[in-house]
Amino acid sequence: MARDFALTPKQIQSKYLYDALGSSLFESICRLPWYRIARAESRLLTRWADEMVGPVEDPVTLLELGCGSGEKVALLAEALRSRRRHVAIHLIDISPTALELSERTLGALEHVSVVGHRATYEEGLRRAARERPPLGGLLVLFLGSNIGNFDPPASHEFLCEIRRAQRPGDALLLGADLVKPVKELLLAYNDPLGITAAFNKNLLVRMNRELGANFDLSSFEHSAIWNPDERRVEMHLISMREQTVRIPRADVSVRFGKGESIWTESSYKYEPRGIVELVSAAGFRSHAQWMDPDAGFALTLFLAG
C-alpha cells in the first residue's frame, strides 16, 4: 500500500475494488445499458457453448478465474449436461461475496460439484490445478475481459502461468473487449447513473473502514480516460484540493496536490488478431474465435499445445 502510494501517479491495485459492496456494484454495472460487453459475452456463451466445451476431454473440469456471479460458467456447465457426465467446477475469486453468489448460482445444477477458492488468480490457479483429477480435460475460463486489467508484460507472464498449470489437450477460453470508438468506451466506464463512479470511490470507503483512513469522499472525483498510446481505459480518483490523508493501519500519511490522481484500474482493449498473438506467445494454439461485432467483444478458445 505505502509503496503504491509512493509511485507517480499514485496507484491502488484494481483487485481491491472487490469487497462486498464493490462486487454488488460490479453486478449492477453489468446491467447498465452502457456496459454492453457482459451481455454480449453471455449471448456468445449461450449460442456457442457446445462448440466451446466440445474439444475438452471427459470428465471435464471447469476452472473460472474471477468468477463474479458465476452466471457465465453456468452456461457452459449446462452445455455439458447433455454428455451425462459429472462436471467438477473450481471457482477462484478474491471476493467472498462473488464466491457466495456463484456457489448459489451453480448450486441449482445437479450434475456439478463446486469448489470455491477465495484467493488471487495465481494462488487459486495453483491450488485448483493440484486438486484436479488425474483423468479428463481442464477448461480454464478467463472471462469478462479480466485479462485487460494486466499490462502486456504481466498478461504474458500470467498466460504462461495458466499454460504451466495445464496438460497438453487442456483448453483456455478467453473473453476480451475489443478496441471501439472512444465515446462508446468511455460511456461504459463513466455511466450517466454514476454506478461506475461509486464502484471506483468505494475504494476510499473501503480504506476508511478497513484501514482507519480519513478520506473525505466529497473531495475526490471519479475519472475515466482513454489512453490511445497504450490502448487502455484508465480509471482514476482525482483529488479536488490539496490535502493530506492519514491511513493508520498502513502506517502512512499521503499528500495530494489539487488535481492529483490515484490510478485505480486499467482496462486494455484488443484487436481480434492481437488476442491470438498474445495467447499463442504463451504456448497455446488458437482453436476458434467468436465475436459480437455490435458490442465489440471476442471469445477465443485456445488449446494447450
Ligand X SMILES: C[S@@+](CC[C@H](N)C(=O)[O-])C[C@H]1O[C@@H](n2cnc3c(N)ncnc32)[C@H](O)[C@@H]1O
Q: Which is nearer to ligand X, 93 or 170 (CB)?
A: 93
| Interface contacts to ligand X, rule CB under 6 A | 15, 18, 23, 26, 38, 66-68, 72, 92-95, 98, 120-121, 143-144, 146
- Least CB distance from residue 201 to ligand X, whole Å? 17
Nearest partner of 254 among 201, 213, 222, 210, judged by Cα: 213
DSSP label at residue 16: G
- Residue 220's alpha-carbon distances to 92, 238, 241, in angstroms, are 32, 5, 8
How many of the other CB atoms lie within 10 Å of CB of 30? 17
Q: How many residues does the chain have?
A: 305
- Least CB distance from residue 59 to ligand X, whole Å? 23
- Least CB distance from residue 100 to ligand X, whole Å? 11
- Least CB distance from residue 140 to ligand X, whole Å? 12
- Least CB distance from residue 149 to ligand X, whole Å? 7
Q: Which residues contact 157 (CB under 8 A, 6 or more apart)?
A: none
**Using CA atoms in the order 280, 283, 288, 292, what is the torsion angle rounded to 10 degrees?**
-50
Amino acid, res. 125: L
Collapse the DSSP code of 173 into the 3-class scheme (helix H, G, I; strand E, B; otherwise coil) and give the result. strand
- Least CB distance from residue 37 to ligand X, whole Å? 9
Q: Which is nearer to ligand X, 146 or 190 (CB)?
A: 146
Please state whether beta strands 10-11 and 61-65 pair in parallel, antiparallel, or not at all (unpaired).
Answer: unpaired
CA 75, 172, 37, 157 dihedral sign is: positive
Collapse the DSSP code of 32 into the 3-class scheme (helix H, G, I; strand E, B; otherwise coil) and give the result. coil
Q: Which is nearer to ligand X, 98 or 197 (CB)?
A: 98
Please give the grid coordinates belonging to residue 298. 471476442
- Least CB distance from residue 150 to ligand X, whole Å? 9
Q: Which is nearer to ligand X, 186 or 240 (CB)?
A: 186
Q: Which is nearer to ligand X, 299 or 304 (CB)?
A: 299
Q: Which is nearer to ligand X, 187 or 245 (CB)?
A: 187
Please give the grid coordinates belonging to residue 98. 462473488
Nearest partner of 274 among 146, 125, 174, judged by Cα: 174
Please give the grid coordinates belonging to residue 136. 479428463
Q: Which is nearer to ligand X, 93 or 260 (CB)?
A: 93
Residue with nearest beta carbon to ligand X: 144
- Least CB distance from residue 8 to ligand X, whole Å? 23
Q: Which is nearer to ligand X, 196 or 261 (CB)?
A: 196
- For residue 85, which phi and psi values (nearest 5 degrees)? -120, 155
